[in-house]
Amino acid sequence: MNRRCGSIVLAEQQVAEARTAALAEYEAARAKLRHRVGSPVVIGGVLLGATALGYLAFGRGKPKRLVDRGSTGAWSRAARTVQVLLPLLIALNSASKAARRPRGNIDGTAR
């Protein structure tokens, strides 16, 4: 009976330690995410993307004709939006990768 009580106490201790470790990991991930979301690169990318999307969605204020046979459909508009935003996303991705990469000295060793 004493061994059962000891194993129950040990299991409760392990659960408490695991809960504490999980909570610490959650808080670290939350702080890391908050830091990344607050980054000027992310904020600028979101603003630039929203501006580009709004510009493409609403146009340049051209007057609309009642009958326009040459008007583009929704799919071609979406493709044009992707065509404009894809280079921006690629540049943003490569800039964030370059910021995470450790810089090297002239001889190729990391600092």
Residue ranges of domains in the chain: 1-37, 39-61+69-101
Task: Note the pLDDT tens digit of each residue in 45-63.
Answer: 888 888 888 888 877 666 6
Query: Is the pLDDT assigned to residue 111 strictly greater than 60?
Result: no
| pLDDT for position 62 | 62
Measure Cα distances from 7 to 13, 20, 91 in Å. 10, 20, 56
Cα separation, 56 vs 72, whole angstroms:
12
Q: Which two tokens stand for residue 86?
A: 């894809």
Query: Is the pLDDT assigned to residue 108 strictly greater than 90?
Result: no
pLDDT confidence of 20, banded at 50, 70, 90? very high
| Contact indicator for 80, 74 with CB cutoff of 8 Å | no
pLDDT confidence of 28, banded at 50, 70, 90? very high
- For residue 31, give the DSSP letter: H
- Give CB contacts under 8 A, 24+ apart, made by 77-83: 80/56, 81/52, 81/53, 81/56, 81/57
Cα separation, 54 vs 63, whole angstroms:
17
Point out which residues pair with 110 in neighbouring strands. Answer: 104
Query: Is the pLDDT assigned to residue 12 strictly greater than 70?
Result: yes
Q: Which two tokens stand for residue 78?
A: 């979406």
Task: Note the pLDDT tens digit of each residue in 77-93.
Answer: 888 888 888 888 888 88
